[in-house]
Structure 1
Amino acid sequence: MKINEHTILEGPRVLLVPYNEEHVPRYHEWMKSPELQQLTASEPLSLQQEYDMQKSWREDDDKCTFIILDKQRWADPGVEEEQCMVGDVNIFLTDPLDPSLAELEVMIAEPSYRGRGIGKEVTRMMMGYGVTKLGVGRFQAKIGLDNQVSISMFKKLRFQEVSVCNVFKEVTLELTVDESVRTKLLDEAANVTERDYRETRSSRHQLVLH
């Protein structure tokens, strides 16, 4: 999806940036992990397939993807952006007949960043973006039954369990964006700054750390 190709979202601890070609090698290394393959229900890809996937995520109208960066590390111009990568977050518009339905996925790929509330911060940021920029009215998350950490996180964000598929060993959780949810997301969005990715990259050492 091209809507976010020049967008950077700045939260308290993380930055969300477009998924670019330069991110692919690190992403490819992550996805060699059997643990991440299992958690994301993914098959291992070749590096070329990963580049093709990155291009499709950028071009396809039903996918919106951001790479998660460690904000503090990124503010140091001596650190390559690829070395600041923490994970990724995606919105998939899965139903052509209902463009307001969005499947949400978040992956904290770097183990040292797990259990620190990063996933919750990123998910809230992405939900705010989905509501304000993409017109999302209902969020859905499909999570492996053995991924209790993610299930617990989404339930804390008021997602409700709607079904369990024993064949695929996953649970589906949903959250309808009613007025109270929308108000809360907009309130939280006040802590998120949207910048131009092209301009910010050239002067990232000037980024104000909260």
Structure 2
Amino acid sequence: MKLNSSTVIVGNKVVLVPYKKIHVPKYHKWMQRKDLQEATASEPLSEEEEYHMQNTWFLDEDKCTFIILDKKIINSTNNEIDAMIGDVNLYLSNIDGKKIAECGIMIAENSARGQGKGFEALALMLKYGCEVLNVQKFEAKINLSNYVSLNLFKKIGFKLIDKNIFLEAILVNEVQEEYKKWLNEVTNGLSIISYDELLRCNLNS
């Protein structure tokens, strides 16, 4: 969405940047992998189709996505492509006056898993959803065999409420003030800068 097109969210382990055309070739390569197709319930696209999807994410006001960068790598190399480790998304809808967002996250680089980077990236996105997009309820649909993602969403406050015919678990998180306070605690150290500043500053400062 255009709202986050110049927004960079800096955490302790990861940096979230808007999905831009420069990210498409590496993202496209990720999505040719069978394991990621299965984990995200996605069909492989051509690179041309991937560029079209990136443009759709930029234009549509009901979709918000950030590319996840490894903070250590972006600090040491100033190279976004080398630092890319995954993405995190929100699909927005308005039902009976309530802003609802379906969440998704992918850590594509195996070397970046098991280090709390997915947890922080998701927490940063949820905080952004609450404070900037005014989301009142989060949802997630996760393959029942994807134990890592299921555990991640439960750890971050989602509750399993149902299963669907596609063998997906349906999890929800109703946003309350106490939850917002908890998000503030787990995202301590967060800062927001402009995309133009990204490569001109020390992200540790």
TM normalised by structure 2 equals: 0.95
- Indicate conservation of the 8 Å contact 1:93/1:99, yes or no: no
CA distance in 2 between counterparts of 1:52 and 1:137 reads: 30
- The 5-angstrom pairing of residues 76-115 of structure 1 reads 76-77=76-77, 80-95=79-94, 97-98=96-97, 100-115=99-114
What letter corresponds to residue 3 of structure 2 in structure 1?
I
Deviation at 1:17, TM superposition (A): 0.2
2-structure distance, mates of 1:119, 1:145: 19
CA offsets 1:121-170 (integer angstroms, 9 cap, x no match): 111110000000000111101100110111011111121111101x2110
The aligned residue for residue 75 of structure 1 is: 75
Residue of structure 1 in register with 2:133 after alignment: 134
Report the equivalent of 1:162. 161
User: Is the contact made by 2:93 and 2:99 (CA closer than 8 Å) also made in structure 1?
Assistant: no
Question: Which one of 170, 176, 180 corresponds to residue 178 of structure 1?
Answer: 176
Aligned residues: 205
Shift of 1:189: 4.0
Structure 2: tracts of 5 or more residues without a match: none
Q: Which amino acid aligns with 1:25?
A: P
Larger deviation, residues 22-31 vs 188-197? 188-197
In the other structure, the counterpart of 2:26 is: 26
**Percent sequence identity over aligned pairs:** 42
- Which residue does the alignment assign to 1:208? 204
Pick the aligned partner of 1:191 from 189, 192, 196.
189
**Residues of 2 paired with 1:104 and 1:12: CA distance?**
21
Q: What is the match of residue 36 of structure 2?
A: 36
Give structure 1 stretches of 5+ with no counterpart: none
Partner of 2:64: 64
Which whole-Å CA distance do the structure 2 matches of 1:10 and 1:200 have between them?
10
Task: Report the AA paired with residue 169 of structure 2.
Answer: V
Distance 2:61 2:98 in 1: 11
TM-score (normalizing by structure 1): 0.93
Distance 1:98 1:89, change over 3 A: farther
Task: Give, as a single letter, the amino acid of the residue that structure 2 aligns with 1:177.
Answer: V
Deviation at 1:187, TM superposition (A): 3.3
2:10 and 2:203 in contact (8 A); partners too: no
The residue type equivalent to 2:134 in the other structure is G
